[in-house]
Amino acid sequence: MKVCAKCGGDEFNSRNKCKSCERTRAKKYYANNKEKHAAAVKKWKSENPDKIKAINDRWKKNNPGRVNELQKIWSAKHPERRRAIYTKWRNANRDSLIARCVQWRIDNPNCAANYYAENSEKIKASSLKWKRENPEISRIHCHNYRAKKRTNGGKLSKDLSAKLFKLQHGMCACGCGQPLGEKYELDHRMPIALGGENTDDNMQLLTRTCNRQKHAKHPVEFMKSRGFLL
The CA distance from 74 to 83, in Å, is 12
User: Greater confidence, 220 or 9?
Assistant: 220
| 75 and 147 in a common domain | no
Q: How many domains does the chain have?
A: 2
Under a CB-based contact definition with an 8 Å cutoff, are residues 137 and 158 in contact?
yes
Evaluated on CA atoms 162, 165, 168, 170, the torsion sign reads negative
Single-letter amino acid code for the residue at 143: H
Residue 215 lies in a domain: yes
The CA distance from 102 to 94, in Å, is 12
Which pLDDT belongs to residue 10? 80
Which pLDDT belongs to residue 62? 92
| 150 and 75 in a common domain | no
Which pLDDT belongs to residue 141? 82
What is the tens place of the pLDDT at every residue in 203-219? Answer: 999 988 888 888 888 99
User: Greater confidence, 74 or 196?
Assistant: 74
What is the tens place of the pLDDT at every residue in 86-118? Answer: 999 999 998 898 888 888 877 877 776 677 778
| 83 and 152 in a common domain | no
Residue 8 lies in a domain: no
Which pLDDT belongs to residue 80? 92
Domain stop point among 107, 124, 149 = 107
What is the tens place of the pLDDT at every residue in 41-56? Answer: 889 989 999 999 999 9
| 139 and 94 in a common domain | no
3-state helix/strand/coil string of the chain: CCCCCCCCCCCECCCCCEHHHHHHHHHHHHHHCHHHHHHHHHHHHHHCHHHHHHHHHHHHHHCHHHHHHHHHHHHHHCHHHHHHHHHHHHHHCHHHHHHHHHHHHHHCCCHHHHHHHHCHHHHHHHHHHHHHHCHHHHHHHHHHHHHHHCCCCCCCCCCHHHHHHHHCCCECCCCCCCECCCCCEEEECCCHHHCCCCCHHHEEEECHHHHHHHCCCCHHHHHHHCCCCC
- 188 Cβ neighbours under 8 A, 6+ residues apart: 143, 196, 198, 202, 203
Which pLDDT belongs to residue 73? 93
| 139 and 73 in a common domain | no
| 161 and 86 in a common domain | no
Residue 6 lies in a domain: no
Residue 98 lies in a domain: yes
Instruction: Tell me the average pLDDT across 120-136.
Output: 88
Evaluated on CA atoms 144, 192, 167, 130, the torsion sign reads negative
Look up the domain containing 102 and give its range. 50-107
Residue 74 lies in a domain: yes
What is the tens place of the pLDDT at every residue in 130-149? Answer: 888 888 888 888 877 777 65
Instruction: Tell me the average pLDDT across 163-191.
Output: 89
Residue 204 lies in a domain: yes
Residue 71 lies in a domain: yes
Which pLDDT belongs to residue 167? 93
| 101 and 161 in a common domain | no
Which pLDDT belongs to residue 229? 67
CATH number at residue 176: 1.10.30
Residue 56 lies in a domain: yes
Residue % of the chain over a pLDDT of 70: 95
What is the tens place of the pLDDT at every residue in 76-94? Answer: 999 999 999 999 999 999 8
